[in-house]
Structure 1
Amino acid sequence: MLGMAMEQMAMTPKPARPPDGGWGWVVAAAAFAVNGLSYGLLRSLGLVLPDLAEHFDRNAQDTAWVSALALAVQQAASEGGPEVGGSNGWRGRPVGSALSTRWGARPVVMVGGVLTSIGFVFSAFAGSLLHLYLGLGLLAGSGWALVFAPALGTLSRYFSRRRVLAVGLALTGNGASSLLLAPTLQLLLDTFGWRGALLLLGAITLHLTPCGALLRPLALLGDPPAPPRGPLAALGLGLFTRRAFLVFAVGTALVGGGYFVPYVHLAPHALDRGLGGYGAALVVAVAAVGDAGARLVCGWLADQGWVPLPRLLAVFGALTGLGLLAVGLVPTVGNSEGWGGPLLAAAVAYGLSAGSYAPLVFGVLPGLVGIGGVVQATGLVMMLMSLGGLLGPPLSGFLRDETGDFKASFLVCSSFILSGSFVYMGLPRALPSCRPPSRPASPPPERGELLPVPQVAILTPGGPQPTPDTTC
């Protein structure tokens, strides 16, 4: 009986394309929570840095390394994601390949949740900044690295026509979490101190584990049977020979140099401008509201195909840089009781533009490199952005120590983002559509051009027939 059941399962045909719904919405909800308990928590963590600087008698540059290391470890090590090679097919990732090829996305995310929780609990008993570098930077950062990319990659396999919308929905977890966690974290700091707050955050981040349990794997027809061989193929370094991807990578690396600075120093900047603790938390919260709403709206807009994705990416990247420029130039509020209207308005503008930019980064990759290389491309881009996450916040802290406030920091970070957005103008004007074309696919392009939507076979009574792939 068991053999017959296994044979029947083996003969069950795989779906030709993502279901664009069904359990995919449950995966979207799980990815929403994962994003909120990773990037959303990182954005609010800046509220703790002034307390750490005071307790350990260190400057802003030293304490900024706590969040910078967490960001860098998360970005650099989170390159793993479910590839198109089967339900558990993972490839080309230094961390994800080693763990997930054998165990799949579900247990890896669950372990990542436990590791993140342990990092916060360990940090609650820190006796020096070195302990915090190890606890929040290495342990929590490694845990976040194991949860974010697998959750987002699994979600991408469940959607095709509405993929950018689904990813945008998942990425709103960042803003929603910041909206709730920023005032909650300030309350915890006032009530329990930074040690008690970190201990409670350890309990909160443990909820990443049940989120991982919801990541049901999905096998699709057309999944490659075997992973690539050799270091160049595994890491996807050959993608840099394609002009379009190289332009995208350079632009994204420049954007990464400034994009993560507000995650660390928006709250301390609000404190420097004269706001109290809850006023600073409100600045983070309103930026989060704009961020969350924009991700959803921009994801829907991108799926309509009215404006080419590369042009949307360049426009919203530039608006993000201008938003941060406005945040850095707002006048001093003057007292801790004020609510800082100009700073709140600038924070909303920044949140709207940064939230619109986020889903587009993932949305353009399938058209640039094809579905077969999208996870490898994501890993390379995240590694490049990790350099910005590692260097940007400490540079911002250094400029704050030298100038006395964060004005110069936000001016520099906005210049990085504006430079990257200018580089995006070198991308092709349009990308292949995820909707089935009305005529046969064109021949493969020359190196450096956009890849056409690939073809997969659907098993029919009349035999295999090529059908346009909608998994781009």
Structure 2
Amino acid sequence: METSLTGVCSLPQTAMTPKTAGPPDGGWGWVVAASAFAVNGLSYGVLRSLGLALPDLAEHFDRSAQDTAWVSALALAVQQAASPVGSALSTRWGARPVVMVGGALTSLGFIFSAFAQSLLHLYLGLGLLAGSGWALAFAPTLGTLSRYFSRRRVLAVGLALTGNGASSLLLAPALQLLLDTFGWRGALLLLGAVTFHLTPCGALLRPLALPGDPSTPPRGPLAAFGLGLFKRRAFSVFALGTALIGGGYFIPYVHLAPHALDRGLGGYGAALVVAVAAVGDAGARLVCGWLADQGWVPLPRLLAVFGALTGLGLLAVGLVPAVGRDSWGGPLLAAAGAYGLSAGSYAPLVFGVLPGLVGIGGVVQATGLVMMLMSLGGLLGPPLSGFLRDETGDFTASFLVCSSFILSGSFIYMGLPRALPSCRPASPPPTPPPERGELLPVPKVVLPPGGPHSTMDTTC
């Protein structure tokens, strides 16, 4: 008889991606984590190091710190505000092509900016074009990673988010060298080549279908962008707190290096301050990811605690006194390291808490919405910081005001539920061993309507 168990179970499947019993918690998921690591480094890592070029841009175009701060602020704001677009497109077309297109757009933005004749060209190139590319790349990648993990989800997210710190550690001194050697135009041109690597990173995002996924793509803007998630009280509380924290969280991305220069350090001393913050940031993301997955402390409480510590770290950075140019800047290095540790601990918790708030089926859309919420602060925070610097002569007031935003958002997080429902798939009960002399039951074979050679799916 032609219909054996092996033959029936190995019949060709349909073109649809087969659904798994739950997140595999490994396997290809670690490749996705490596891709997300690179995407994070080529987006936020580049943005954080880009602050080193702002003084050169201000001098070349003879503009104020507030005006040049809009270059990084627009790139950050567009990247986050347009993230729901990336999430919506990935729910329709899949994350792989969306991220690959985003990598090409980011690279084109840097290449265009290398030939800028005014700040407006930089606003369009780095702010609009590169920011849009980052929006298409980051949220779909991180949302895809969350779908691949359950028990080790926060650890995997933390591992991916260390790309930010690792990239900053390498790019900060490298970018300063490029600025000294080739000028800001040559540096931006080379960054265009570097950021093009986002495209092969997107090619590694293999689709994964899970139980609970909708059978058809969402229709209409409300469903496509996931705006219905705001009807949930817990997500609304989370959204408000995250928007406030975004007002201060990204200030060091733009103004940590200029702040170090104002405090009397040289160019490489400022790069060292950025690098120290990056090392603390990267290490804390892994440690906090492992800690959160142990379940010893509820995720919402960890989120509030590390959010508050981030605000206090930013406060310490702003209060560090000025030093001489020959000083190695010990107090500022210590404050930057403390800020990096706390900010790095906060980052994986923001995305790790989402599956418990919205469910695994809505995590991609929720990731895009979180990025959009943080963009509200990311758009206003750096220009406000630059304005305060122009008015007061240094960044002390900037860091103090922006740290208050982070502390306020952390306080709002206290309104989240103490515990969130688990998204881990339930383990099936183990099959009892057969009694002595008893045979195991034979699996039931369900043949397709067209016979054993039909190309339709079968159930074993």
Could you say whether these structures have the same fold, taking a TM-score greater than 0.5 normalized by the shorter chain as the test? Answer: yes
**Equivalent residue number for residue 379 of structure 1:** 368
The answer as to 2:299 corresponding to 1:295 is no
**Equivalent residue number for residue 380 of structure 2:** 391
Q: Secondary structure at the match of 2:13?
A: helix
Change in Cα spacing, 1:213 to 1:372, as seen in structure 2 (3 Å) is: closer
d(CA) in 2 for partners of 1:380, 1:184: 33
Note if contact 2:17-2:209 (Cα within 8 Å) is conserved in structure 1.
Answer: no
Residue in structure 2 matching 1:32, options 26, 31, 37: 37
The answer as to 2:390 corresponding to 1:401 is yes
- 1:226-252 Cα offsets, whole Å, 9 max, x none, are 233443333333322322111111100
Q: Within 5 A, what are the aligned runs for 1:181-220? A: 181-220=171-210
d(CA) in 1 for partners of 2:263, 2:269: 10
**Equivalent residue number for residue 68 of structure 1:** 73
Measured on the aligned residues, the alpha-carbon RMSD in Å equals: 2.2
**Equivalent residue number for residue 429 of structure 1:** 418
**Equivalent residue number for residue 13 of structure 2:** 9
Structure 2 unpaired stretches of 5+: 1-7, 430-442, 447-460
Note if contact 2:155-2:293 (Cα within 8 Å) is conserved in structure 1.
Answer: yes
Note if contact 1:16-1:222 (Cα within 8 Å) is conserved in structure 2.
Answer: no
d(CA) in 1 for partners of 2:204, 2:150: 20
Note if contact 2:155-2:290 (Cα within 8 Å) is conserved in structure 1.
Answer: yes
Q: Secondary structure at the match of 2:402?
A: helix
Residue in structure 2 matching 1:323, options 313, 321, 325: 313
Residue in structure 1 matching 2:123, options 125, 128, 133: 133
Q: Within 5 A, what are the aligned runs for 1:140-159? A: 140-159=130-149
Residue in structure 1 matching 2:295, options 280, 291, 305: 305
d(CA) in 1 for partners of 2:137, 2:372: 16
How big is the shift at 1:435?
Answer: 4.2
Q: Secondary structure at the match of 1:300?
A: helix
d(CA) in 2 for partners of 1:439, 1:25: 24
Residue identity in the other structure for 2:309: L
Change in Cα spacing, 1:105 to 1:438, as seen in structure 2 (3 Å) is: closer
Note if contact 2:36-2:141 (Cα within 8 Å) is conserved in structure 1.
Answer: yes
How big is the shift at 1:194?
Answer: 0.7
Residue in structure 2 matching 1:357, options 346, 349, 354: 346
Note if contact 1:245-1:368 (Cα within 8 Å) is conserved in structure 2.
Answer: yes
d(CA) in 1 for partners of 2:263, 2:287: 31
How big is the shift at 1:422?
Answer: 0.6
Aligned positions, number:
425
Question: Quick one: higher RCO (CA 8 Å, sep 6+), 1 or 2?
Answer: 2
Residue in structure 2 matching 1:339, options 328, 333, 341: 328
How big is the shift at 1:410?
Answer: 0.3
d(CA) in 1 for partners of 2:74, 2:17: 46
Change in Cα spacing, 1:231 to 1:286, as seen in structure 2 (3 Å) is: same
How big is the shift at 1:127?
Answer: 0.6
Q: Secondary structure at the match of 1:190?
A: helix
Note if contact 2:176-2:271 (Cα within 8 Å) is conserved in structure 1.
Answer: yes
The answer as to 2:25 corresponding to 1:20 is yes
Change in Cα spacing, 1:42 to 1:261, as seen in structure 2 (3 Å) is: same
Note if contact 2:355-2:423 (Cα within 8 Å) is conserved in structure 1.
Answer: no
Q: Secondary structure at the match of 2:307?
A: helix
Note if contact 2:17-2:208 (Cα within 8 Å) is conserved in structure 1.
Answer: no
d(CA) in 1 for partners of 2:166, 2:377: 24
d(CA) in 1 for partners of 2:354, 2:87: 19
The answer as to 2:156 corresponding to 1:166 is yes
- 1:9-68 Cα offsets, whole Å, 9 max, x none, are 229953111111111111111110010000011000000000000110000100000000
**Equivalent residue number for residue 86 of structure 1:** none
d(CA) in 1 for partners of 2:30, 2:224: 30
**Equivalent residue number for residue 470 of structure 1:** none
**Equivalent residue number for residue 304 of structure 2:** 314
**Equivalent residue number for residue 245 of structure 1:** 235
How big is the shift at 1:289?
Answer: 0.3
Q: Within 5 A, what are the aligned runs for 1:91-110? A: 94-97=85-88, 99-100=89-90, 103-110=93-100
Residue identity in the other structure for 1:366: P
Q: TM-score, normalised by structure 2?
A: 0.88
Change in Cα spacing, 1:135 to 1:312, as seen in structure 2 (3 Å) is: same
Larger Rg belongs to:
2
d(CA) in 1 for partners of 2:17, 2:138: 31
Q: 144-153 or 411-420, which moves further after superposition?
A: 144-153
Residue identity in the other structure for 2:217: P
How big is the shift at 1:123?
Answer: 0.7
d(CA) in 2 for partners of 1:239, 1:213: 29
d(CA) in 1 for partners of 2:160, 2:90: 21
How big is the shift at 1:372?
Answer: 2.8
Change in Cα spacing, 1:214 to 1:233, as seen in structure 2 (3 Å) is: closer
Structure 1 unpaired stretches of 5+: 80-93, 441-459, 464-472
d(CA) in 2 for partners of 1:139, 1:32: 22
d(CA) in 2 for partners of 1:13, 1:193: 51
Residue identity in the other structure for 1:283: V
Residue in structure 2 matching 1:418, options 407, 417, 432: 407
Note if contact 2:75-2:126 (Cα within 8 Å) is conserved in structure 1.
Answer: yes
- 1:367-396 Cα offsets, whole Å, 9 max, x none, are 122223323332222211111111100000
How big is the shift at 1:303?
Answer: 0.6
Q: TM-score, normalised by structure 1?
A: 0.86
d(CA) in 1 for partners of 2:35, 2:427: 35
Residue in structure 1 matching 2:248, options 258, 278, 293: 258
Residue identity in the other structure for 2:26: G
How big is the shift at 1:438?
Answer: 9.0
